[in-house]
A and B are shown apart, each in its own frame.
Chain A
Amino acid sequence: MGWVITMQIRLAGFGGQGVILAGVILGDAAAIEGLNVIQTQDYGSQSRGGHSIADLIISKDPIYDLIVTKADVLLALAQLGYESTKESLREGGLLIVDTELVQPDKEFTGAPFTRIAEEEVGLALTVNMVALGYLVAKTNVVKKESVEEAIRRRVPKGTEEINLKAFRIGYEEGTK
């Protein structure tokens, strides 16, 4: 997927999947590269289980449109998140899903991110980093190295290595 001037990216899942953190890390990576970026979020009041959406607008120009209206990329990690956001994906936009948790009714790409996190990384909690790696590989919205720097800055101390591992496995999956 090629870079346009502005990319609208929406990450959707349920609370506890780390969707917001993945959004913050992606935004941080864009900021590291000197791109303009805004990140907003919407989530239920539950700490687990409610819907959870992270929106990013990344642009080479100053950002005046603050709301994701026509997403270029939609990453859905749960059916709930998919159902509530699928209308926001623009025609021809890229839909990425966890293929074992989401049954999309339109063209998509993806991988079983949650199973990969469990079996290959060894920690289901890292599903957000696996999916983020896949998204970055598919879109080239930011460089792999920028995301790795952002991961080191943003994840809880002591978990850097396992998160980086998850991100790299997801990235590999995305280049296949």
Chain B
Amino acid sequence: MRYPFPVGAVDFIQGDEAIARAAILAGCRFYAGYPITPASEIFEAMSIYMPLVDGVSIQMEDEIGSIAAVIGASWAGAKSMTATSGPGFSLMMENLGYAIMTETPLVLVNVQRSGPSTGQPTLAAQGDLMQAIWGTHGDHSLIVLTPATVQEAFDMTIKAFNLAEKYRTPVILLTDAEVGHMRERVYAPHPDELELIYRKLPANEEEANYPFGDIHGDLVPPMPVFGKGHHTYVTGLTHDEKGRPKTVQSEIHEKLIKRIVEKIEKNKKDIVDYEAYELEDAEIVIISFGIVARSAMRAVKELRKKGIKAGLLKLNVLWPFDFELIERIAERVEKIYVVEMNLGQLYHMVKEGANGKAPVELIPKIGGEIHTPKEIIERIKDNLRWG
């Protein structure tokens, strides 16, 4: 297989371009999208690359159509992706729920910009965290990953496909305009270096009859491929193990939704990922994610130089959320700060996790600019001074 970009090599590319290349390396062969700043470069790259790897990249009429096409392509057996931002992400919410309900593996990239509505189209924000997790209606679960560097955007795109295939679920890659548009040094692995996961297919016709049944006891049913002769019925209505609509029986609904939630929750250890820096003896811990975690890292290094025992917890996965990890940290620190580019979203999850064991304070920022390390340091030092 020849790739239309360097592999096993270092390059200097934008985050958006890295996501497109990584998707193709992960085996993505279907992309549908609608252009929107700051995610358009993903679509541009896909439009160039897909025809060269026997894949398909199409522009749909809008974002609703884009994710719908991706769901269809996934059921036809292709690893599939779409990318959007701001208002486009809102438009995708209904079909995101359809993908969760029908257990359709797909990757949805949200290159966050400042909102609400059309907001600040070219500027970064982290205001879609809660929407990424809870934006679609009804009880559900899914996976949300978040990169802080172009290299992480690359690596996490591959991980997103692997998790989507392994757990038969939509995975959201929640990044932002800064990571999307920034160019950094990136190592693109050679395909031989990659471990790729492909969805479990029915081993026989009997298994294919239960596309929504936990027939292997791992909560993840094998997924039949459309066009392979199976009689598969896929619906967003509550359905039984064979996929037939059963909309009024409470026990069928409960069984289905609990399995969809538990297949993520019970595999939390496999999915959750974070970076802990100087946490061992930390008295003050900053918890952050994505682009602003880099400013937080600088702040921690500077605080340490001043003799303040600070540490950083950089979250790479935002859902499932490791509430117990936060509580363990809260038990042995004096204070937790949450640094995020919104008016407080991760903050609420951290507060719940801390469970009263340590005070949690928010250091928010909106308007399109990343917190500078200085802003974080000043705020923490002010508190120490006035204490």
Q: Name the interface residues of A1-60: CB closer than 8 Å to any CB of B.
A: 24, 27-28, 30-32, 34-41
Given contacts A40-B182, A64-B373, contact A24 B294 (CB under 8 A): no
Asked if B39 lies at the interface with its beta carbon under 8 angstroms from chain A, I say no
Please, what's the 1-or-0 string for B281-317, where 1 marks a CB less than 8 Å from any CB in chain A? 0000000000100110110010000000000000000
Nearest-CB distance from A148 to chain B (Å)? Answer: 15
Contact yes or no, B291 A66, CB < 8 A: yes
A87 CA to B10 CA, complexed, in Å:
34
Contact yes or no, B12 A28, CB < 8 A: yes
Please, what's the 1-or-0 string for B5-34, where 1 marks a CB less than 8 Å from any CB in chain A? 000001110000000000000000000000
Contact yes or no, B183 A24, CB < 8 A: yes
Contact yes or no, B184 A37, CB < 8 A: yes
Q: Name the interface residues of A50-89: CB closer than 8 Å to any CB of B.
A: 63-67, 69
In-complex Cβ contact of B181 among A32, A40, A63 (8 A): A40
Asked if B267 lies at the interface with its beta carbon under 8 angstroms from chain A, I say no
Nearest-CB distance from B281 to chain A (Å)? Answer: 21
A56 to chain B: closest residue by CB? B183
In-complex Cβ contact of B370 among A34, A36, A37, A66 (8 A): A66
A69 to chain B: closest residue by CB? B372
Given contacts A27-B12, A28-B12, A69-B372, contact A64 B294 (CB under 8 A): yes
Contact yes or no, A66 B10, CB < 8 A: no
B296 to chain A: closest residue by CB? A64
A69 CA to B295 CA, complexed, in Å:
13
A69 CA to B301 CA, complexed, in Å:
18
Given contacts A27-B183, A38-B182, A40-B182, contact A64 B301 (CB under 8 A): yes
Contact yes or no, B291 A38, CB < 8 A: no
In-complex Cβ contact of A24 among B12, B298, B369 (8 A): B12
Contact yes or no, B183 A66, CB < 8 A: no
Identify which of B11, B183, B298, B369 gathers the most chain A CB atoms within 10 Å of its CB.
B183
In-complex Cβ contact of B185 among A36, A40, A41, A66 (8 A): A36
In-complex Cβ contact of B178 among A27, A65, A66 (8 A): A66
- Which residues of chain B come closer than 8 Å to A34, judged between CB atoms? 10
Contact yes or no, B295 A64, CB < 8 A: yes
- Which residues of chain A come closer than 8 Å to B369, judged between CB atoms? 67
Given contacts A31-B11, A31-B12, A37-B12, contact A65 B373 (CB under 8 A): yes
- Which residues of chain A come closer than 8 Å to B370, judged between CB atoms? 66-67
In-complex Cβ contact of A31 among B181, B185, B372 (8 A): B185
Contact yes or no, B294 A63, CB < 8 A: yes
A30 CA to B12 CA, complexed, in Å:
9
- Which residues of chain B come closer than 8 Å to A67, judged between CB atoms? 369-370, 372
Nearest-CB distance from B341 to chain A (Å)? Answer: 12
Nearest-CB distance from A19 to chain B (Å)? Answer: 14
Identify which of A27, A32, A39 gathers the most chain B CB atoms within 10 Å of its CB.
A39
Contact yes or no, B12 A66, CB < 8 A: no
- Which residues of chain B come closer than 8 Å to A24, judged between CB atoms? 12, 183
Contact yes or no, A65 B295, CB < 8 A: yes
- Which residues of chain A come closer than 8 Å to B291, judged between CB atoms? 66
A37 CA to B12 CA, complexed, in Å:
9
- Which residues of chain A come closer than 8 Å to B295, judged between CB atoms? 64-66
Contact yes or no, A38 B184, CB < 8 A: yes
- Which residues of chain A come closer than 8 Å to B184, judged between CB atoms? 36-39
Contact yes or no, A66 B294, CB < 8 A: yes
- Which residues of chain A come closer than 8 Å to B301, judged between CB atoms? 64
Contact yes or no, B294 A39, CB < 8 A: no
Q: Name the interface residues of A149-174: CB closer than 8 Å to any CB of B.
A: none
A64 CA to B295 CA, complexed, in Å:
6
A32 CA to B291 CA, complexed, in Å:
24
Top 8 closest A-B pairs, CB basis?
Answer: A64-B298, A31-B185, A31-B12, A39-B183, A28-B12, A64-B294, A64-B297, A38-B184
* Contact sample, A vs B, 13 pairs, CB 8 Å cutoff: A24-B183, A36-B184, A36-B185, A37-B184, A39-B12, A39-B183, A39-B184, A63-B294, A64-B301, A64-B373, A65-B372, A66-B295, A66-B370
- Extra contacts, 9 of them, besides A64-B301, A66-B370 (Cβ < 8 A), are A24-B183, A34-B10, A36-B185, A39-B184, A63-B294, A64-B298, A65-B373, A66-B294, A67-B372
Question: Hey, which bits of chain B sit against chain A, CB under 8 A?
Answer: 10-12, 178, 181-185, 291, 294-295, 297-298, 301, 369-370, 372-373
